[in-house]
Amino acid sequence: MLPLIVCVPFIGAVLVPLAASRAGLRPALTAGLTAALALALLIPEMPAVYEGAALIDRHEWIPAIGLTVAFRLDGLSLLFAQLILGIGMLVVLYAHYYLSATEGGPRFYSYLLLFMGAMLGLVLSENLLQMLLFWELTSLSSFLLIGFRRREAEARQGARLALFVTGGGGLALLAAVLLIGGLAGSYELTDVLAAGETIKQDGLYPLILTLFLLGAATKSAQFPFHFWLPHAMAAPTPVSAYLHSATMVKAGIFLLGRFFPVLAGTDLWFYLVGGMGLTTLLLGAYLALFQNDLKGLLAYSTISHLGLITLLFGLGTPLGEIAAVFHIINHAVFKASLFMAAGIIDHECGSRDMRKINGLFKYMPYTAVLAMVAAGAMAGVPLLNGFLSKEMFFGETLHLQWLGDASWHWVLPWAATLAGVFAVAYSLRFIHDVFFNGEPKGLTRTPHEPPRWMKVPVEILVVLCVAVGTFPGFTVRPVLEAAAGAVLQRPLPEFSLAVWHGFNLPFAMSLVALSGGVAVYTVRRRLFAAHERLRHRLRFSGKDVAEGLLALVFELGRRLDRLLDNRSLVRYTFALLVSALAIGAAGYWGEPIGGSGPRESLDLGVLLGGLLLGAGAVATAIKHRNRFVAVLMLGLVGLMTSLFFARFSAPDLALTQLLVEIVTVILVLLAMYFLPEATPAVFSATRRARDTLLALLTGTGVAALTYAMLTRSADSISAFHLAESKPGGGGTNVVNVILVDFRSFDTLGEITVLGIAAVGILAMLTGLVLHGPRMDWLGRPWAPDRHPMVLAVVSKPLLPIALLVSAFLFLRGHNEPGGGFIAALVTGVALILQYIAQGSNTAQARFHGDALTLIGAGILLAVLTGLGSWLFGYPFLTTTFTYATLPVVGKFELASAMLFDLGVYLGVAGTVLLILAGLGDLSPRNRTA
């Protein structure tokens, strides 16, 4: 069931654009129903999880690298899945009213569902590598969402900044997970959770923790990586409500919780995580007060609350961890509703600037009440949910005796209270500045209440704030216990969720925070002025650093590009060859060249053939400017190679090489008709010397490599092929059996590649008209007889004979040298002879059919043969064979591999024909003939 739940949003992401043929409710409805369906699928699994079980659903994927498709549903993942799907549904409903008709709703919901699926996959993953995939996917889909209004420069910059920071963190996290997996010996979360002690005692632990925190901190906007979040506010407000308060920014926190048993509980964890959380908490709360943008205030407040949760995890105590999980829930609920309220205000006023939007209470009293309640929860006002978790937080800061007699443990309660003061102050600013404090200034329209259903999501969330705040034991306890239990992986300690704990120290801290907040707000004007002066003094922002880094990377890239890319392919080739030589040489530098394997003695025949071959190769290079000679020399090399194969026990190769040589020479000669006769000398003598040197070095290197390989004996896997060829494949020609049976999947790929090359050639030849020279290079006109009678007469009877030979080679291929490749080349050569002797028109008239169809039919036949084995319940391309007896012919073998070989035959023959006939047909002179 779990994989299905994760898949549902992805399927929905595809369906939404399809459902959106017309504007209207349909895209939003599809998206909402998708989320509802996923939630409905989740419900049957819930009871077991509330009883403390962890459901795991595991399938093998790539066992060799420890990659499984494995999902896990425990209390923590269930909590996040509920937040993702529940708030997701509300956001979809809200977005339907928020987005204007022209803004491309379907695209928005599609991205949103993509993100939802990625986030679900992240929290439900059991395998860590799989979790990383989803982690990256959340970064990518949030990039799309932040940059949704792609015409606005701010949106594009914000999206890029977020991707840069969170993507960079993702790389660090990847490294951390690989290290953790290496230490734990498995990438399954269950195993990793059990290996916590091993990991904490390993020397790599500080490195792992640092890398891991880089990943978590960038995602959850912790200091010093917090700066991307305010810029991400360029996203449409539903995105801010969803990603930047409830879900994505909680992903880093989720990781802290997930890996709590693995990494937490050390001093290093306390100082790093706690320090980071405390700094973020204070900095975010302080900066939130001075934002004039409504969403900016909420963004910094989010940073601050994320810092609070991080700090709670950093304390490392069980109760602190319970408070952290509790605050995750509470913050998601009140902050999402506040973002939605801010969106409504923006939507109705056309501005988010708190210096302009004042006194909105009389224009939208209902929305104002909702927003004020949510802001109260943010400030930590009693009877609202934020108050409860904040009290638990205050309480936890007081219980640090376990640190020993540290003289500074008074710092934490004071810092926590100070952050509380600022939280109250900025919440007060949100309420007072926006809804009271005079009249709106310079708005272009008169604000009024939004459409009825736009307020529904806000209402639901605000009701939750109050319900949790007044009846915590009744509403939130089971969820909290399940989630906190999953984080801790141990039985939970006793904890109280009562609204009133009596007049104790945490409550006193709350009172100080409330009254202090009011006091700070009343003197805000002086504070604003002081902050402005400070800001001018300290002109420093993380955004500038990140953008500077990005610009530096781009500039380095441009420089490297200018250095390497001078638009000369010759230079690229040179660079490529030099690199290959350098890397190859570095690879076996210092190794002895000769090995101790057995050697063959040299005989005269091979020596002579070798001398011819070498001379041919050198002559090709030296004489290359005289193209005709060079082609002849190349042909010599090909023929000698063919003889070489024959001498060293490879009759199939010898035949193939010989036939390909013929076809290649015909092809090159055809092309030479159009190309210039000779290659002009354009390179200087120095350049030629340089190239010669590189050629000699490369040649020496390759020769040394070959010698090293030949003089060492290696175990081959071919014993299997030799032994199984007859009993398993039914043929005695092992090479052919390998091609059509053992490794027929490779062969299928190869004829497909050949077919693709043929199609590419056809595409390039289409519409290509070239004019060859009117006379040869000695100035003589071409012979008037274009199709000499003698050739035509001789070639005609040759065709059936050649085809017969081809059929013979094909049929015996399984047992004797031959087979589909060789038979196809023979057929190709025979048909080309007809084209040359009689002209393409006559030949075309005799040869009914189209080469492209032949290629297609060949590949199709090979695939169908492979699929045929499925019918009998065997894997793709399994072959079978039997023996049949016919009168006259006698006993012979019928193998399904032969059908496959026929496919190979058709494909290769079609390719050869298409290429040569196409080339011969280029000149208009030939066509009229």
| Contacts of another protein in 174-233 (CB under 8 A) | none
Binding test (CB under 8 A) with another protein, winner from 101, 498, 604, 717: 717
Give the chain's radius of gyration (CA, Å).
38
Q: Is 575 in the site for another protein (CB under 8 A)?
A: no
The answer to whether the Cα torsion of 651, 655, 657, 658 is positive or negative is positive
Q: Is 303 in the site for another protein (CB under 8 A)?
A: no
Q: Is 632 in the site for another protein (CB under 8 A)?
A: no
Among positions 805-834, residues that touch another protein (CB under 8 A) are 815-817, 821, 825
Q: Is 683 in the site for another protein (CB under 8 A)?
A: yes
Determine the interface stretch with another protein among 196-204, 440-448, 594-602, 834-842 (rule: CB under 8 A). 594-602
Q: Is 585 in the site for another protein (CB under 8 A)?
A: no
- Smallest distance from another protein to CB 891, Å: 15
Determine the interface stretch with another protein among 18-26, 492-500, 530-538, 633-641 (rule: CB under 8 A). 633-641
Residue spans of beta strands (DSSP E) within 22-150: 55-62, 67-73
Asked if 289 and 447 count as a contact pair (C-beta separation under 8 A), the reply is no
- Smallest distance from another protein to CB 845, Å: 25
- Smallest distance from another protein to CB 880, Å: 19
Q: Is 279 in the site for another protein (CB under 8 A)?
A: no
Residues 770, 751: Cα–Cα separation, whole Å: 30
Of 478 and 635, the one with the shorter C-beta distance to another protein is 635
Residues 474, 498: Cα–Cα separation, whole Å: 10
Of 49 and 659, the one with the shorter C-beta distance to another protein is 659
- Smallest distance from another protein to CB 745, Å: 12
Q: Is 703 in the site for another protein (CB under 8 A)?
A: yes
Of 366 and 648, the one with the shorter C-beta distance to another protein is 648
Of 317 and 657, the one with the shorter C-beta distance to another protein is 657
> How distant, in Å, are the alpha carbons of 444, 685, 686, 687, 819 from that of 682?
71, 10, 12, 10, 46
Among positions 743-782, residues that touch another protein (CB under 8 A) are 743, 746-747, 750, 753-754, 757-758, 760-761, 764-765, 768-770
- Smallest distance from another protein to CB 832, Å: 13
Is residue 104 left, alpha or beta, with left meaning phi > 0 and alpha meaning psi from -120 to 50?
A: left
Contacts of 919 (CB under 8 A, 6+ apart): 667, 670, 671, 765
Among positions 657-676, residues that touch another protein (CB under 8 A) are 657, 660, 663-664, 667-668, 671-672, 674-676
Determine the interface stretch with another protein among 67-75, 194-202, 550-558, 598-606 (rule: CB under 8 A). 598-606
Task: Let me know if 574 is exposed, middle or buried by CB neighbors in 10 A (0-12, 13-18, 19+).
Answer: middle
Helix (H) / strand (E) containing 903: helix 896-920
Long-range contacts of 525-534 (CB under 8 A, 24+ apart): 527/289, 527/290, 528/290, 531/290
- Smallest distance from another protein to CB 853, Å: 18
Residues 255, 442: Cα–Cα separation, whole Å: 45
Q: Is 602 in the site for another protein (CB under 8 A)?
A: yes
Residues 262, 127: Cα–Cα separation, whole Å: 15
Determine the interface stretch with another protein among 157-165, 736-744, 854-862, 884-892 (rule: CB under 8 A). 736-744
The count of residues interacting with another protein (CB under 8 A) is: 115
Q: Is 628 in the site for another protein (CB under 8 A)?
A: no
Binding test (CB under 8 A) with another protein, winner from 469, 638, 730, 903: 638
Binding test (CB under 8 A) with another protein, winner from 59, 726, 846, 925: 726
Contacts of 266 (CB under 8 A, 6+ apart): 200, 205
Binding test (CB under 8 A) with another protein, winner from 178, 650, 807, 857: 650
Residues 422, 416: Cα–Cα separation, whole Å: 10
Of 507 and 674, the one with the shorter C-beta distance to another protein is 674
Among the listed residues 81, 109, 63, the one whose alpha carbon sits nearest the alpha carbon of residue 2: 81
Q: Is 798 in the site for another protein (CB under 8 A)?
A: no
Among the listed residues 835, 808, 821, 809, the one whose alpha carbon sits nearest the alpha carbon of residue 660: 821
Q: 62 — phi, psi (to 5°)?
A: -125, 85
Determine the interface stretch with another protein among 45-53, 454-462, 541-549, 603-611 (rule: CB under 8 A). 603-611
Q: Is 852 in the site for another protein (CB under 8 A)?
A: no
Among positions 49-88, residues that touch another protein (CB under 8 A) are none
Binding test (CB under 8 A) with another protein, winner from 505, 710, 864, 894: 710
Residues 159, 179: Cα–Cα separation, whole Å: 30
Query: What SS3 state is found at 380?
Result: coil
Cis peptide before 224 (omega within 30 of 0): yes
Among positions 904-923, residues that touch another protein (CB under 8 A) are 908, 911-912, 915, 918-919, 922
Residue indicated by tokens 């960038």: 218
Determine the interface stretch with another protein among 101-109, 143-151, 408-416, 686-694 (rule: CB under 8 A). 686-694
- Smallest distance from another protein to CB 43, Å: 55
Of 191 and 750, the one with the shorter C-beta distance to another protein is 750
Q: Which residues pair with 293 in a beta bridge?
A: 353
Of 179 and 639, the one with the shorter C-beta distance to another protein is 639
> How distant, in Å, are the alpha carbons of 356, 814, 866 from that of 899?
80, 12, 10
In terms of residues, how long is the chain?
929
Of 5 and 919, the one with the shorter C-beta distance to another protein is 919
Secondary structure in 3-state letters for 132-185: HHHHHHHHHHHHHHHCCCCCCHHHHHHHHHHHHHHHHHHHHHHHHHHHHHHHHC
- Smallest distance from another protein to CB 234, Å: 44
Of 178 and 765, the one with the shorter C-beta distance to another protein is 765
Binding test (CB under 8 A) with another protein, winner from 18, 519, 618, 689: 618
Helix (H) / strand (E) containing 881: strand 881-886
Neighbour-count burial for 614-640, b at 16+ CB within 10 Å, e otherwise: eebbebbeeeeeebeebbebbbbbbbb
Q: Is 573 in the site for another protein (CB under 8 A)?
A: yes
The vertex-526 CA angle with 524 and 529, nearest 5°, equals: 105
Of 179 and 822, the one with the shorter C-beta distance to another protein is 822
Of 421 and 895, the one with the shorter C-beta distance to another protein is 895
Q: 61 — phi, psi (to 5°)?
A: -125, -75
- Smallest distance from another protein to CB 920, Å: 12
Binding test (CB under 8 A) with another protein, winner from 50, 61, 495, 574: 574
Contacts of 559 (CB under 8 A, 6+ apart): none
- Smallest distance from another protein to CB 805, Å: 18
Of 500 and 589, the one with the shorter C-beta distance to another protein is 589
Q: Is 564 in the site for another protein (CB under 8 A)?
A: no
Cα torsion through 225, 227, 229, 231, rounded to 10? -150
Residues 111, 821: Cα–Cα separation, whole Å: 50
Of 51 and 746, the one with the shorter C-beta distance to another protein is 746
Q: Is 582 in the site for another protein (CB under 8 A)?
A: no
Of 518 and 675, the one with the shorter C-beta distance to another protein is 675
Determine the interface stretch with another protein among 50-58, 183-191, 219-227, 611-619 (rule: CB under 8 A). 611-619
Of 216 and 908, the one with the shorter C-beta distance to another protein is 908
Residues 740, 901: Cα–Cα separation, whole Å: 6
Helix (H) / strand (E) containing 282: helix 275-289
Binding test (CB under 8 A) with another protein, winner from 271, 366, 707, 782: 707
